[in-house]
Amino acid sequence: MRPPAAASPHEVFARLSAGISAGRWHELAALYAEDAVVEQPFALPSAAPRLEGRAAIDRHFRAAARGPLDLRARDVVVHETGDPEVIVAEFGYDGRVTTSGRAFRTANIQVLRVRDGLIAETRDYHDHPGLARAMRDG
């Protein structure tokens, strides 16, 4: 009997995006390899620009779960690349600050490398200043 094929990069990104949109923060680290690396070049000085390992990624998502943001992905476009492990995802978030009800929108790009059905590395180009502004003004 053949083992099931590992999820494709597109499928793994879809699970990640759906989990964030549904607020299932505690499930997201399971999508990452044990030694995964997340780089966030646009992170604010108060945030970690690099997360190393599933445990650090889990702590990051659990902190997000305690925050006042509700995010829903929209207008998702996934680009395949010449490397079968790598995709580029462009999308926006329709967001809401739960403490004030203030709505906002942000733009995002993620470059993901998925190996054996798990995220091995990402470069996340999120609008961190926009998210901070929404929380501050909300």
- Does any domain span residue 4? no
- Does any domain span residue 2? no
Looking at the structure of the chain, the number of domains it has is 1
- Does any domain span residue 110? yes
* Contact by Cβ (8 Å): 114, 89: no
- Does any domain span residue 28? yes
Kindly report the pTM of this predicted structure.
0.91
Q: How confident is the model at residue 1 (pLDDT cuts 50, 70, 90)?
A: very low
User: In this predicted model, what pLDDT tens digit does every residue of 2-60 receive, in sequence order?
Assistant: 445 789 999 999 999 999 999 999 999 999 999 999 999 988 877 789 999 999 999 99
**Domain holding 26: CATH number?**
3.10.450.50
Full domain range(s) for residue 106: 9-137
Cα dihedral sign, 10-125-34-59: negative
- Does any domain span residue 3? no
Is pLDDT larger for residue 104 or for residue 44?
104
- Does any domain span residue 22? yes
Instruction: Summarize the chain as % helix, strand, coil (round to 5).
Output: 30, 40, 30
User: In this predicted model, what pLDDT tens digit does every residue of 27-39 receive, in sequence order?
Assistant: 999 999 999 999 9
- Does any domain span residue 1? no
